[in-house]
Amino acid sequence: MIAIEDAIEMLPDTEGIHVFHNPSGILMGRTWAKEDIVDLIERSGQIAVSGELARSLGHGMAVYYGDGNEHVFIETKEELE
């Protein structure tokens, strides 16, 4: 798991940050406001390093929400190892 402070530090220095979401098996992408992503990170507390494919696309963080089964892959500053 990634600490909240570390997750926020990993975010790009832009106002809009790209996310991937996978509801019902359909991959969807969109741009969220940075402040909304920070709010999600702070509310979630369940933050993990993304899998290899998401990391290769520049989305190095997965943030879980709701009942813990829903998540978004969030764009990060740099590729994580």
Summarize pLDDT for 22-70 with one digit per residue, the tens: 877 788 999 999 999 999 999 997 999 999 999 999 999 999 987 777 8
Its sign, for the CA torsion 32, 35, 38, 40, is: negative
| Residue 80 reports pLDDT greater than 60 | no
Q: Contact, 27 vs 20, CB < 8 A?
A: yes
What backbone phi and psi angles, to 5 degrees, belong to 47?
-125, 130
Strands 47-49 and 28-33: unpaired
Q: What is the pLDDT of residue 20?
A: 93
| Residue 81 reports pLDDT greater than 70 | no
| Residue 16 reports pLDDT greater than 90 | yes
pTM over 0.75: yes
How confident is the model over 15-19, as a mean pLDDT? 96
How confident is the model over 67-75, as a mean pLDDT? 87
